[in-house]
Structure 1
Amino acid sequence: MECLIEVRNLTFGYEDIPILKNFNLKVNNGEILLIEGDNGVGKTTLLKCIGAILNGGKNVYFEGKHLLEHKDLIKNISFVLSEDTLYEYLTVGENIKFYKNLFNENHNYDAKIKEYIELFGIEQYYDVLVKNLSQGTRNKLYLAIMMSKNFKALVLDEPFTALDKMTQEKIISKIKFEAMENNKAVIMVTHIDEFKKIATRRINITKFEC
């Protein structure tokens, strides 16, 4: 397997209190990496550093290039947060169009989002304001948007908790397909056993001793 993402000697914290210290990690194409550990050890912080949401891409390398110096490579990472980033006063369809433009996607995005919307059974909400959707439907829309993006790495931070079992099974199938058939890297934090089972590799983060 070829290394896609590498974290080198990452130290990061809040208000001068380090959460991660000299942390190293390699993530390969085609693998599903599960990150485990107790609350507060830095799992979400690590994911946000990998996605350059925190720390500006320092100490993170994508295909051998430093994200800090090659920020255009961030577009290859689809980051799915535990809370969605949808716009409540736009409709489902308007959110889809907004993110297509934001991601600078082409017509392939249209085909993929249509597939996901139909897979999740939410096509009837196309003209409904997001603020009027149930939490489960919002989560389906958010996942559909983020997984339709053209990406090489999919980063998932606890986005599955409000999904019904049937939708979870559909997402599991899609994640496995992206990794195994499309040779994408998947990095996830989750407490749901069904998602843990599909991991091809696990790491456990422990709180370092100061």
Structure 2
Amino acid sequence: MKAIKARNLSFSYNGADVLKGINLEVEEGEFLAILGPNGAGKSTLLKCISGILNCRGVEVFGKPIGEYSRNELARIIAYVPQRTEPGFMTVFDTVLLGRRPYMGLRPSKKDLEAVKRALERMGIAGFALKITNKLSGGELQKVGIARALAQEPKILMMDEPTNNLDIRSQLEVMRLAREFSAEGGTVIMVMHDVNLALRFAGRFVFMKNGKIVADGGREILKPSIFREVYGVDVIIEEVRGIPLVVPV
């Protein structure tokens, strides 16, 4: 089933076209990486198909996105921004915010269990009572992802989630995303690290100047794509069956 469908999607900021006639369909259970240079429109596309920006032509599980209430949409889509802002709440309470679409006046046992699972899955249960403004950038990023997991969404959208993370944490996040997809969830991730994306994702959308330039699996990975999208020459080698892009 189509988790996300965008037809002739366009978007402008202050009269400047950022997205131009985007057509995109994402199946339930796919792990899609959106790649491209700065200013290509990747983050804007993610915000449009997640419902953060008000756009026409987007459907979620066959229903126009505008027909969902904010609460209904939050039970389906979890969005992780590029940066989770620190505050004066504890890590636990920040992750608990992900349960708002389900909570009444007080969190239920199910809500608290969902938070505990998310903290453990991200490896941050050890500082659940720490105030978020005392955390490093990488720790904050993990808190943001844990909050999204606590929503128990069907679609997980992340904007450059491996920023500020060390190599081990990057691998943990990417493995988590792959597991989420393998369990039937849909993952749509904006990334700059091409090689990390190629290692874990199953489908790739390359964007440039607000348009989709290429869309497909590993079969589309040709040096010509990187020359067109990034303006660099590369060689593509395989290391233990994993494609590796090396600029030359």
Query: Could you state the TM-score of these two structures normalised by the residue count of structure 2?
Result: 0.75
SS in 2 for 1:205: strand
The 8 Å contact of residues 3 and 28 in structure 1, kept in 2 or not, is answered as: yes
Gaps of 5+ in 1: none
1:92-116 per-residue CA deviation (whole Å, 9 max, x = no partner) reads 222233332x232564443343234
Shift of 1:170: 2.1
Q: Which residue of 2 aligns with 1:151?
A: 153
Distance in 2 between residues matched to 1:35 and 1:107, nearest whole Å: 37
Q: Which residue of 1 aligns with 2:78?
A: 78
Shift of 1:29: 0.7
Larger radius of gyration: 2
Distance in 1 between residues matched to 2:115 and 2:40, nearest whole Å: 35
Alignment of 1:200 onto 2:202: yes
- Tell me the matched-pair count: 204
Letter in 1 for 2:188: I
The 8 Å contact of residues 96 and 147 in structure 2, kept in 1 or not, is answered as: no
Distance in 2 between residues matched to 1:185 and 1:42, nearest whole Å: 21
Q: Which residue of 1 aligns with 2:181?
A: 179
SS in 2 for 1:197: helix
Alignment of 1:130 onto 2:132: yes
SS in 1 for 2:9: strand
SS in 2 for 1:155: strand
Q: Which residue of 2 aligns with 1:47?
A: 46
Shift of 1:188: 0.7
Distance in 2 between residues matched to 1:36 and 1:194, nearest whole Å: 11
- Decide which of 100, 112, 117 is 1:115's aligned counterpart: 117
Shift of 1:152: 1.0
Distance in 2 between residues matched to 1:8 and 1:194, nearest whole Å: 29
RMSD of aligned C-alpha atoms?
2.1
When residues 39 and 110 of structure 1 are mapped into structure 2, their CA distance, relative to the original with a 3 A threshold, is same
- Decide which of 28, 44, 66 is 2:64's aligned counterpart: 66
Q: Which runs of structure 1 show a deviation greater than 6 angstroms over 4 or more consecutive aligned residues?
A: none
Q: Where does 1:6-17 land on structure 2 (aligned, <5 Å)?
A: 6-17=5-16
When residues 168 and 151 of structure 1 are mapped into structure 2, their CA distance, relative to the original with a 3 A threshold, is same
When residues 151 and 41 of structure 1 are mapped into structure 2, their CA distance, relative to the original with a 3 A threshold, is same
Q: Which residue of 2 aligns with 1:35?
A: 34
The 8 Å contact of residues 96 and 150 in structure 2, kept in 1 or not, is answered as: no
The 8 Å contact of residues 92 and 115 in structure 2, kept in 1 or not, is answered as: no
Q: Which residue of 1 aligns with 2:102?
A: 104
The 8 Å contact of residues 130 and 138 in structure 1, kept in 2 or not, is answered as: yes
Report which structure shows greater RCO (CA 8 Å, sep ≥6). 1
1:168-194 per-residue CA deviation (whole Å, 9 max, x = no partner) reads 22222221111112x111111112322
Distance in 1 between residues matched to 2:2 and 2:179, nearest whole Å: 19
Q: Would you tell me which structure has more strand in proportion to its own residues?
A: 2
The 8 Å contact of residues 95 and 146 in structure 2, kept in 1 or not, is answered as: no
Letter in 2 for 1:163: L
Letter in 1 for 2:81: L
Q: Which residue of 1 aligns with 2:245?
A: none
SS in 1 for 2:79: strand
Percent same amino acid at aligned positions?
A: 30
